[in-house]
Amino acid sequence: MRKALVLIILIGLAFMFFPAPQAKAMDPITIALLTPVAIAAAQKAQPYLVRGLQGGLKGFKDMGMDLIDVFRLPLGVLQATLGAPFGFFKDGLRNVVLGVVAPFKLAFHTVMLPVRFCGF
């Protein structure tokens, strides 16, 4: 009983010294006055946003292709070992090399993704 009383007092003191934050709403008239300015700014920024999104989508496409290429390593190992008698050694070796390079390309494209979103 004593622990519960001490706990209630501590919680009460915490709420007394740290009150709930007050809500601060924006005046509706301010919103009505700033809407035309925001629309004009959005219209001026639209070409840059579209160009940035197009660059970002190209970056995501590159990353997806690199992620798929990562799975070429085990495929290439199987082709170079089990498929060698059937003439798949050359293709397997090519897939092994592409599979080894793919994680590094994926890391590079991941680092470059924010730059692609900037439209470069």
pLDDT digits (tens, 9 = 90+) for 43-57: 999 999 999 999 999
Residue 72 has pLDDT above 80, yes or no: yes
Query: Mean pLDDT for the chain?
Result: 89
Which uninterrupted H or E stretch holds 42? helix 28-70
d(C-alpha 28, C-alpha 106), whole Å: 48
Spatial CA neighbour of 120 closest among 69, 52, 62, 73:
52
Burial 35-68 (b: 16+ CB within 10 A, else e): eeeeeeeeeeeeeeeeebeebbeebeebbeebee
Residue 66 has pLDDT above 90, yes or no: yes
d(C-alpha 47, C-alpha 55), whole Å: 12
Residues 5-34 have a mean pLDDT of 80
Lowest model confidence (mean pLDDT) among 24-28, 55-59, 72-76: 24-28
Residues 52-77 have a mean pLDDT of 95
Query: Which residues touch 119 (CB under 8 Å, ≥6 apart)?
Result: 48, 51, 52, 55
d(C-alpha 107, C-alpha 61), whole Å: 14
d(C-alpha 46, C-alpha 118), whole Å: 13
Residue 119 has pLDDT above 90, yes or no: no
